[in-house]
């Protein structure tokens, strides 16, 4: 296992373990034993929640030395969980000691004040909204929220927006082979949405409306993906080839990294973990062999090393002709 994979595994464990520990502690606080021993259960809940979130923060830091702001954020999150999570006798035990909810509230306000000031300084200094919000919330959560907001904006608006082709670059479309398949998928999902909603409504209206909301969001995602395929073509720039696949992939491959341009050889090569395959639902017609592996983000955002980049274009011949002039 490489050092990168080791760090990734440690961070994954440090991210997943605290929520499980918190959920287990809240489940224990809702048990019959907790109802019979609310004081002891409240102390145990406070200890587990605060300890799990603080240790998770420490474990995610590469040097195991997170800053004071990060630790305060962990304790602020623990305070929020303790204020809104427990129910019944355990909640009464926590709220029954006035100093406890006061301390929890002050911890939350201290973190919001500190991080809010940092966010204001970032924005005032010309930083992005993502950088500013990342001073308050975890950056992955901010990135996810902003990405979903972009999906919503793209799905509902941008109907006549031209393709994103910067000045000096040449765009190459790939959406014509994909659009029909996605329109069929969208139609099937709309039919499934209606049928499932009506059937589940007979069993549980609440579950039916939840499933409907999730299905509508899925429809919006497909609409946004359909539009992004046209709006985000593959680009040939003076720096390299910007391989894109709608909302899912956006990777710049510099010319000096490209060792050979060819077609795919076999299925194993295309499906290999070291190949970034940007040809969605189709067989690629262009493959870049790289001089050395480069780190890229795949469709799910996870970074990995690749030594080949594969993609499909509507007019590969024009791309090859233009590429030969620039290299």
Please indicate whether residue 107 or residue 60 has the higher confidence score (pLDDT).
107
The residue assigned the tokens 């305060």 is 72
Mean pLDDT of 66-89: 90
pLDDT 10s digits, 284-325:
888 999 989 998 875 555 678 888 999 999 888 898 888 887
Does the pLDDT of residue 7 top 70, yes or no? no
CA distance 169 to 236: 6
Please indicate whether residue 177 or residue 165 has the higher confidence score (pLDDT).
165
Does the pLDDT of residue 3 top 50, yes or no? no
Please indicate whether residue 80 or residue 264 has the higher confidence score (pLDDT).
80
For residue 144, what pLDDT band results from cuts at 50, 70 and 90?
Answer: confident
pLDDT 10s digits, 218-276:
888 888 888 888 899 999 998 899 999 888 888 999 998 998 888 887 888 888 888 88
CA distance 12 to 15: 5
The model's pTM is 0.66
For residue 8, what pLDDT band results from cuts at 50, 70 and 90?
Answer: very low
pLDDT 10s digits, 206-218:
888 888 888 888 8
Picking from 25, 41, 31, the residue whose alpha carbon sits closest to that of residue 85 is: 25
């Amino acid at each position: 296992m490489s050092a990168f994979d080791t760090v990734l595994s440690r961070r994954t464990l440090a991210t997943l373990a605290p929520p499980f520990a918190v959920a287990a502690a809240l489940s224990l606080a809702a048990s019959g034993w907790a109802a019979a021993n609310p004081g002891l259960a409240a102390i145990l809940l406070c200890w587990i929640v605060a300890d799990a979130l603080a240790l998770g923060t420490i474990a995610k830091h590469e040097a195991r030395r997170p800053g004071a702001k990060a630790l305060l954020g962990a304790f602020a999150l623990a305070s929020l969980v303790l204020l809104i999570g427990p129910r019944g006798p355990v909640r009464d035990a926590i709220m029954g000691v006035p100093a406890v909810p006061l301390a929890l509230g002050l911890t939350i306000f201290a973190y919001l004040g500190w991080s809010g000031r940092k966010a204001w300084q970032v924005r005032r200094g010309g930083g992005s909204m993502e950088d500013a919000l990342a001073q308050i919330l975890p950056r992955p959560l901010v990135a996810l929220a902003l990405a979903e907001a972009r999906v919503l904006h793209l799905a509902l608006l941008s109907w006549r927006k031209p393709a994103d082709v910067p000045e000096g670059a040449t765009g190459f479309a790939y959406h014509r082979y994909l659009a029909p398949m996605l329109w069929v998928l969208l139609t099937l999902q709309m039919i499934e949405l209606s049928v499932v909603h009506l059937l589940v409504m007979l069993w549980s209206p609440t579950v039916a409306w939840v499933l409907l909301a999730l299905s509508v969001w899925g429809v919006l995602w497909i609409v946004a993906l359909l539009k992004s395929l046209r709006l985000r073509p593959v680009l040939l720039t003076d720096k390299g080839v910007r391989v894109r696949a709608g909302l899912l992939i956006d990777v710049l491959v510099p010319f000096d990294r490209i060792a050979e341009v060819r077609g795919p050889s076999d299925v194993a090569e295309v499906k290999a973990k070291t190949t970034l395959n940007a040809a969605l639902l189709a067989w690629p017609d262009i493959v870049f062999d790289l001089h050395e592996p480069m780190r890229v983000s795949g469709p799910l955002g996870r970074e990995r090393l690749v030594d080949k980049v594969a993609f499909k274009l509507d007019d590969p011949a024009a791309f090859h002709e233009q590429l030969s002039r620039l290299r």
